[in-house]
Amino acid sequence: MKMSLASKLESSMTKSFPRLPPWFEPGVRQAGALDDVNLRAGVVGWALDLGDLGRRLEISVVCAGRTIARGRTGLARPDIARLIGPDVQCGFTIGWADFDGKAVRAIVESGAATAEIDVRVDAMEASLCGPCDLPAVTARDCWTFLRGAPAFHDAWSEAAPSSDDIALRAEALGLFDMGCYVRREGVGGSQALDGTLIAHYFAEGERAGAKPNPYFDPSWYARKYLNGTGEGALRHYIEIGEARGDKPCPAFDPQWYRETYLSNAADVSPLAHYLAHRHANRHSPNAYFDIETYIDAYPDVASAGMDGFSHWLNHGIFEGRSGSPNFSAEHVWERYLGGKKELNAFEVFMDIGLEFGWTPVSPSDASAHRAKSAMSRRSIRAARGRGVVLIGHDALPAASQRLLLALGGLLKKRFGMEIAFVLLEGGALAEAYGELAETFIVGETRGDAWTDLRVHLGELFRCGYKHAISNSALSGGVTGVLKDLGFDFCSLVHELPKLIRARDLAQTFVALRQRGRAVVYPNAFVKNALDAAFGVDDDRAVVIPQGLHDAPVVPEGARAQLRRELGLPPDAEIVLNVDFGSLLTGVDLFPLLAERLRTMRPGAHLVWLGDVHPVIAPWLKHDIRQRGLTNITILPFDRDVGRYFGAADLFVSTSREDPVPSGLLQALRTGLAVVAFAEAGGHAEMIGGDERLGALAPCADVKAGAARIVDSLKRRASGDEANAAYRARAVVERCDFALYGAKLLSLIDPEYRTVSVIVPNYNYAEHLRDRLTSVFAQTFPVLETLFLDDASADDSLAVAREVAAQAGRDMEIRARTENSGSPFRQWKAGLDEIRGEFVWIAEADDMSEPRFLDEAISRLAAAPNAAFCFTDSKAIDAQGAPVFNSYKSYYGEYGDRGLETSGAFSGADFLRRFLAVRNVVVNVSSVVWRTQALRDIFQKLGEEPFSLRCAGDWRIYVEACRSGKEILYIADTLNIHRRHDRSVTHSLDRIEHIKEIEAVQTVALEGEGPQSDLRTRAAAWRARTAREWRLDPDNLPAAV
């Protein structure tokens, strides 16, 4: 007998659901079900009017009596169609974008966070039931989904999650692709109703070799990592494999993907991220396929909206299309696979070839593409904050080029900025440039160089790179393009007139001085020489000492080691020069100095460290032999310059023209005195008449130079320790490279200000990853990040170093061996060291939104009399779960709603309205200070803050108000305050805490009458706090 339609549906549904919907009975015209609620799709289900199969039904999601989302049926459901025959459009998906976020938030904040949602069919006034394995979905879960994080987190904290939990996690992470799974042979139809599709996969599909998404192959994964069948493969990958870098299939490399795209997002699944973004064709799945190259070469793939890599892997590779210069399928087929082109050369290479050392391209291909392969060129990604383009003339290993590379490292690794390099030509440093950032070499383009340059710079500008720094007059021609495209930029000029004329760049230099926000000279010597040659033009001229970007590191035992290598006696005096050997640098004068010192200072030995120009080198050797000199050694350049500076007794510069004497700065930084020629470069300005730094001789005067060397060696022999420390300090103070970079930024971006970040920590290793990741994610550049550990007993230091390394960020770490006893001593220690105009004390257990600093610094920069700016905060618990989304209800508890919106307050007004009774600046991490204002407060208060273990921050805020400064407030919740019982506030004895509250109130209420309303409210606050803490009233301090 044929089953009725209703009976078919009833029979199927009883397999999946614990009960039928109360309104469903055989013979009744309505049917439906709730299939799933997940992060990617939202609310998924179906509903059907059996009497009118084409009818569209309205669906509502209701929670706590409020409708929070609406949708309607209309999606194809082939699984239902197979049961009933007609091709019905009864499915629905209500995405998270369709939810009323304000309504969900209101429900959560009203205390009804655990209220369950009800998915209803409006016309039937009936609820849809879900499958047995679908957990109850609450308002809090919806709010979590709306914020983009997986819900059901509590279920995932178990040491051994259940199969249902793993299914939920796979779904929420985005590792299960319903469309991919249904399309597999044998999956779908009535099988899909036996639980959700994800449940079906874990019950049957994985064992049969079905894929949960296009890039997870359970059979391959099990063979590779589990030595067995595919069952349990996805579970293993979620729990263990991805974290340790296991590949989900031969072609996807999660470790490379994380390093390339997710270095600042440690908690994001690489595979899930790629699955979610693969059709945008902006991300490559491994180092041997370049999506940008492929899409640019084959626009038909892009126009079709395909996943570019999937197209190449399944079709393009067999059609002869190239996926990247880094991989040649023809090479792998011919060399390793015997010409068997029915095999997928790329999958075999990624599967076994890498392990056996196969080369991805032939040697000839590798040579042809070496420069581009070395740079691993990526798609231009939109700048996260302030993007800066750094422009150089080439990548040769010379001082100017190393400066640009160092500047890029400073801006990216220390300041946290997005950078991109543009070089007119390549060179030996091209690989180093490419490893640091996306690098475009104009000389390697296939078309017209200047057209390609303009197109590339235009694309960078559209992607948020609005600022640029042009390094050297040799790249000055680019400044015209920068001006046309609207960049804010400055030009760095290091060259002297002789070189500019030799390169026929006089007109370029004159035009350069009329463009951009500034023309930056490293010293007055360079500027004056250029003004004399090409005329004075001070409209944009700025002199900024370049700074030392490569301070030498002196290894232990360097002095004795180098003397042994050179065969010198232990007491020999080494006179060192470090430079490229040319007539300009005076390498020809070095033997003349050695000849004079042979008799004037027999124990002295001259060492030149640096390659010598090949034309000069044979003549230099001939000169040394002819003169019979044994007190001179010429050595090729060694990157480990620290051991030479550490072994030397004196540094001598023989340069006839040296605009930026980096070697001289390195010498001073290591404590060496210097001898140089006057009127020959920027070193004369550095030394001046300060004998503690060194001595100057007339230019190219060998006799006078030798005399200065002898005098300097005599002074060193008689004791020079104090002067050595003075020299090192002088370089640090005058030539700080970070401050140099900050000054350049201030020229090209008038809104830029220097801000320092202090991260005080004590035993918060478990929260440091969140804290530091949110610091490194700030869109505003950070001058310095200072991590202060207060003698933690956990592995805080190891975690801090690991997170900084993974993020590719430079961070100073200071570790105490004994606990300071007060978090405010850590504040003061950091304050004594930092150099930023503003300071953010980012406590180690909190987090922040990426635009926190951007918003706070913008407000402070516009209000020069403001002491600090703070933002509203959202609160989370120790595990990161939301507690509440704002402190505004706390701020306005006494009726003053002044902190509902952003504002600026006089100190007196803020103190009286908000701060005298209790501390409304509830979290230190929500505050950005004007550094000098905070220093002034510490100086005035002396030891008082250190005596207040918990309320010291409140006392400091009160003093800021009493100083006559303004207080700024931002109503956006840009700070994330972690509330837990390990904080200082919770760990302090409560009687002592009440006493500290009373002490701060006493100061805040000075000048108030004994019967004032503020005093009454202050007493009431203490009494309320005591009651909540169940304290004995007899032990409480007297009324204020």
Q: What is the mean pLDDT of each run of 10 residues along the chain (1040 residues)?
A: 36 36 46 76 82 85 92 80 69 84 85 88 80 71 63 34 56 64 50 53 78 88 72 80 85 88 72 84 90 86 82 90 89 86 90 78 51 40 77 85 94 95 88 92 78 89 93 90 94 88 85 94 91 90 90 92 93 93 87 95 94 82 92 89 95 86 89 90 81 90 94 88 89 91 95 96 94 94 96 96 94 95 93 96 95 96 97 92 92 91 96 94 97 97 90 95 96 93 58 88 89 88 84 61
Order of all β-strands in the sheet with 650-652 = 632-635, 604-609, 573-578, 650-652, 674-677, 694-697
Q: Which of 93, 61, 63 is nearest to 75 (CA)?
A: 93
Domains and CATH numbers, the chain: 5-146 (no CATH), 153-279 (no CATH), 281-374 (no CATH), 389-543 (3.40.50.2000), 586-735 (3.40.50.2000), 753-988 (3.90.550.10)
Give the Cβ contact number of residue 689 at 10 Å. Answer: 7
* pLDDT of res. 42: 79
Note every long-range contact of 332-335, with CB atoms under 8 Å and residues 24 or more positions apart, other chains counting. Answer: 332/358, 332/360, 335/359, 335/362
Interatomic CA distance for residues 373 and 361, integer angstroms: 11
Which residues contact residue 822 at a Cβ distance below 8 angstroms, ignoring those fewer than 6 apart? Answer: 945, 946, 949, 952
Query: Cα–Cα distance between 589 and 499 in angstroms, integer?
Result: 21
pTM: 0.63
Percentage of the chain exceeding pLDDT 70: 85
For residue 441, the SS3 value is: strand
List the 91-94 sheet strands across, edge first: 30-38, 42-49, 91-94
Return the pLDDT at 768: 96
Q: Please give the structure tokens belonging to residue 222.
A: 């099990």
Q: Tell me the two tokens of residue 1015.
A: 């005093």
Residue 928 to residue 788: CA distance in whole angstroms: 18
d(CA 887, CA 875): 8
Q: How far does the chain reach from its first CA to its final CA, in angstroms?
A: 90
Give the number of C-alpha atoms closer than 13 A to the C-alpha of residue 230, restricted to the C-beta side: 19
| Residue in the structure block whose two tokens are 């402070």 | 860
Judged by DSSP in three states, 841 sits in: strand
- The answer to whether 873 touches 992, Cβ cutoff 8 Å, is no
